Amino acid sequence: MIESFRLLNQHGAKLWLGSLLTAITVFVLLAVPQFFLGIMLSSELVSLQDLLKNMIASPGSVGEAAAHLGVGLLKYGGWILGYAVGSILLTWLASAFYTAALTGAVREAALEDRVPLSCFFSYGFRYLFRIIGLEILLALIFFVVSAGWGALYLLLRDQTPLLIVWAIVGLLLGLLLISSAIHSVVVLFSEGTGIFRSIGYGFRVSLFQAGTSLVSLLESIVVGALSWSVILLVAAFPWLVLQFFEDSTVADIVGIALAPVAIALLGVFPTILSLGVFFRRYLLYIQDRLFPEDRLEPVRMKSFDQEEKQNQLPTG
């Protein structure tokens, strides 16, 4: 935990500035396609909006309005569905890019003790599709395990003692899955391994170094909670100060205006601190045990010519 705060003290300014510039760039690149798609579909959206207004204004003719709405959806539904799907995909790509950029920057700070601003975009592009693939595989694993565990509940719901055991084991299993998922990301960025190997190493860390991985998870939760407490206190500070004045309306206006800005600007620090915990503890306690071969010194073999020279008898 102390290592994470030391990391923030050394590289916090660059991490914050780089994350802010990346977020602004991603937002602009996300907003521009959305804007043009909205312009292209403006007439279709206006037509559907008018149909909905007519349905609300004249509830007596709901059947007729619903029929018109159905016709409108059939007519423009393809465009609207394409717009919705495109928006979701663009948002997912933007989120994955930002996640890869920030995670890579924290990795540079924790393992290399440097944070060049260019590394945000470098990691964002290099690890974009790896992050997406990792998210898909982890989501499938969570879904399968959750479905199986939920089906087990249906078999045990009438047996209270077994349900208690089911809940305790389920909690431990959930912590194991969360720890494995996070350590998969850490291994992916630290070692540059593939998606499947990263997931395998993530589960290996959580199973065979359960104590270390659990401590990392708990420390990251504590650090995140503490940092969010400080951020919320900073965001609410102007509102709390203005409560001492008679006119509370000014306090409400200032609080509503400044609190979201403060949270938007400072909200990245809990993520930085939590990732810092995982990367620093990975470097200090996990990496050498996970990859022991990296600690072996290379064996220097003598060349054949050198051996022949040593075996030659002196003549004289």
The residue ranges of every structural domain in the chain are 1-126, 129-208, 209-291
Q: What is the mean pLDDT of the chain?
A: 82
Minimum mean pLDDT range among 36-50, 83-97, 143-157: 36-50
Is residue 221 very low, low, confident or very high in pLDDT (cuts 50, 70, 90)?
Answer: very high
**Residues near 84 by beta carbon (within 8 Å), at least 6 away in sequence:** none
Q: What span, in angstroms and rounded, lies between the C-alpha atoms of 201 and 284? A: 17
pLDDT score, position 17: 93
Above pLDDT 90, what percent of the chain?
38
Above pLDDT 70, what percent of the chain?
77
Helix axes 118-126, 2-40, angle to 10 degrees: 70
Minimum mean pLDDT range among 34-48, 116-130, 253-267: 34-48
pLDDT score, position 65: 55
With a cut of 70, say whether residue 31 has pLDDT above it. Answer: yes
Q: Residues 148-202: pLDDT tens digits?
A: 888 888 887 777 788 888 889 989 999 999 999 999 999 999 998 899 999 999 9
Average pLDDT for 4-25? 89
Average pLDDT for 263-271? 91
Q: Residues 105-139: pLDDT tens digits?
A: 999 999 888 898 889 999 999 999 999 999 999 99
Collapsing DSSP states into helix, strand and coil, what is residue 255? helix
pLDDT score, position 188: 95
Average pLDDT for 210-230? 92
Is residue 275 very low, low, confident or very high in pLDDT (cuts 50, 70, 90)?
Answer: very high
Average pLDDT for 54-81? 60
pLDDT score, position 135: 94
Give burial (CB, 10 Å; 0-12/13-18/19+) of 24. exposed
Is residue 44 very low, low, confident or very high in pLDDT (cuts 50, 70, 90)?
Answer: low
How many other C-beta atoms can be found within 10 angstroms of the C-beta atom of residue 140? 10
Extended beta strands in 143-194, E state: none
With a cut of 70, say whether residue 79 has pLDDT above it. Answer: no
- The H or E element spanning position 47 is helix 42-57
**Residues near 306 by beta carbon (within 8 Å), at least 6 away in sequence:** none
Q: What span, in angstroms and rounded, lies between the C-alpha atoms of 218 and 179? A: 10
pTM of the model: 0.79
With a cut of 80, say whether residue 247 has pLDDT above it. Answer: no
C-beta of residue 10 within 8 angstroms of C-beta of residue 267? no
Q: What span, in angstroms and rounded, lies between the C-alpha atoms of 105 and 127? A: 12
Is residue 53 very low, low, confident or very high in pLDDT (cuts 50, 70, 90)?
Answer: low
